[in-house]
């Protein structure tokens, strides 16, 4: 999981560097196009297999919301300090929990409601409404978090309907199609150097997803989730050393509060999942 945080921090740094020269839509499209080309054999294998129409619709819906999230995230990366983007990016578990409550009608305890409220307080501290106006970059990352949360909820449902590798492969293909019209509308031909940097982004992101999946297979979320917040440390250091960005006190304080809230939510979900497994009846062949 430590390797995951380093890889994703590298993704943020490269996107921050490239995003200042290329439109966000073009950068995001080329990043996913490169990954899709690499994963093309798996994608072709997947398309040859028959699946219910409902599964295809879920793939399309998740690709749409995830594509919009990626577009907004690339947009914000070019306009906000790395530490601030990283801190606000930790909101997606909170959004996912809210979605589970409002859409999936899940019952939530008072303690998880308190964690959601704590996360909201952390966001208010970071944004400081009334002290400084909400920037377009901040609005973009907040909206991106909502879309990422929706993508997470859909992913949880889809992993029970198809193989995880196909869920990941389909996401890349659909997101590429979703981003294509935005990229064409704002097209700016990248230089060879920019293409190389975007290929680095694709490699780092793919490696990060692999190490994260491996970590989740070896340890519970309650163990891996707190380690994930090392991204804020790396983002602050990279922002300071490479971009001269001095992390602001309110951003770090709000980030710590958001980290506490999301850590509790992750731990609580793990406990509920463990309890559910323990209370399930044994298989029929063991009765």
Could you read off the pLDDT of 91-101 as tens digits, one per residue?
A: 766 777 777 77
Can you read off the two tokens belonging to residue 8? Answer: 């994703």
Would residue 92 count as lying in a domain?
Answer: yes
Would residue 88 count as lying in a domain?
Answer: yes
For residue 240, what are the contacts with CB-CB under 8 A and spacing of at least 6?
A: 246, 247
Would residue 17 count as lying in a domain?
Answer: yes
Whether residue 265 contacts residue 97, with contact meaning beta carbons closer than 8 Å, is answered with: yes
Would residue 281 count as lying in a domain?
Answer: no
Locate all alpha helices (DSSP H) within the chain, ordered by sequence. 2-19, 24-38, 40-47, 53-77, 82-89, 92-102, 110-127, 136-158, 164-185, 192-218, 221-228, 230-243, 249-279
Whether residue 247 contacts residue 240, with contact meaning beta carbons closer than 8 Å, is answered with: yes
Calpha distance 112→120 (Å, rounded): 12
pLDDT at 185: 93
pLDDT at 284: 47
Q: Per-residue pLDDT averaged across 37-48, rounded?
A: 82
| pLDDT value at 179 more than 90 | yes
Quote the crossing angle between the two packed helices 2-19 and 24-38, to the nearest 10°: 130
Return the top range by mean pLDDT from 138-142, 177-181, 189-193.
Answer: 177-181
| Share of residues in the chain with pLDDT > 70 (%) | 80
253 or 138, higher pLDDT = 138
pTM: 0.73
| pLDDT value at 202 more than 90 | no
Q: Per-residue pLDDT averaged across 76-80, rounded?
A: 83
pLDDT at 175: 92
Count of the separate structural domains present in the chain = 1
Give residue 169's domain range. 2-274
Average pLDDT, the chain: 78
User: Binning pLDDT at 50, 70 and 90, where does residue 286 land?
Assistant: very low
Return the top range by mean pLDDT from 43-47, 120-124, 128-132.
Answer: 43-47
User: Binning pLDDT at 50, 70 and 90, where does residue 65 land?
Assistant: very high
| pLDDT value at 249 more than 60 | yes
Would residue 282 count as lying in a domain?
Answer: no
Quote the crossing angle between the two packed helices 249-279 and 92-102, to the nearest 10°: 50
Would residue 279 count as lying in a domain?
Answer: no
Q: Per-residue pLDDT averaged across 21-49, rounded?
A: 84
pLDDT at 67: 92
Would residue 36 count as lying in a domain?
Answer: yes
pLDDT at 181: 94
| pLDDT value at 176 more than 80 | yes
Would residue 285 count as lying in a domain?
Answer: no
Calpha distance 166→159 (Å, rounded): 9
Q: Per-residue pLDDT averaged across 60-88, rounded?
A: 86
| pLDDT value at 187 more than 60 | yes
Calpha distance 149→127 (Å, rounded): 20
């Amino acid at each position: 999981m430590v390797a995951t945080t380093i890889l994703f921090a590298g993704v943020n740094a490269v996107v921050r560097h490239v995003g200042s020269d290329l439109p966000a839509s073009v950068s995001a499209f080329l990043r996913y196009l490169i990954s899709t080309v690499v994963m093309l054999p798996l994608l072709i294998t997947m398309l040859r297999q028959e699946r219910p129409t409902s599964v295809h619709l879920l793939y399309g819906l998740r690709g749409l919301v995830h594509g919009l999230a990626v577009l907004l995230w690339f947009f914000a990366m070019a306009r906000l300090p790395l530490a601030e983007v990283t801190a606000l990016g930790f909101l997606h578990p909170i959004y996912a929990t809210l979605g589970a409550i409002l859409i999936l009608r899940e019952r939530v305890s008072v303690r998880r409601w308190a964690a959601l409220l704590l996360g909201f307080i952390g966001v208010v501290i970071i944004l400081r409404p009334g002290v400084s106006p909400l920037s377009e970059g901040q609005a973009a990352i907040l909206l991106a978090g909502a879309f990422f949360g929706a993508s997470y909820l859909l992913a949880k449902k889809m992993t029970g309907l198809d193989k995880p590798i196909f869920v990941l492969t389909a996401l890349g293909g659909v997101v590429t199609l979703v981003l294509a019209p935005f990229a064409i509308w704002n097209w700016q031909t990248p230089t060879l150097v920019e293409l190389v940097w975007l290929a680095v982004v694709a490699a780092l992101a793919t490696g990060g997803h692999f190490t994260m999946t491996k970590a989740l297979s070896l340890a519970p979320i309650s163990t891996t989730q707190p380690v994930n917040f090392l991204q804020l440390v790396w983002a602050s250091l990279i922002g300071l050393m490479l971009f001269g960005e001095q992390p602001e006190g309110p951003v770090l304080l709000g980030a710590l509060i958001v980290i506490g809230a999301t850590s509790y939510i992750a731990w609580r979900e793990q406990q509920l999942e463990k309890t559910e497994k323990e209370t399930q009846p044994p298989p029929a062949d063991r009765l």
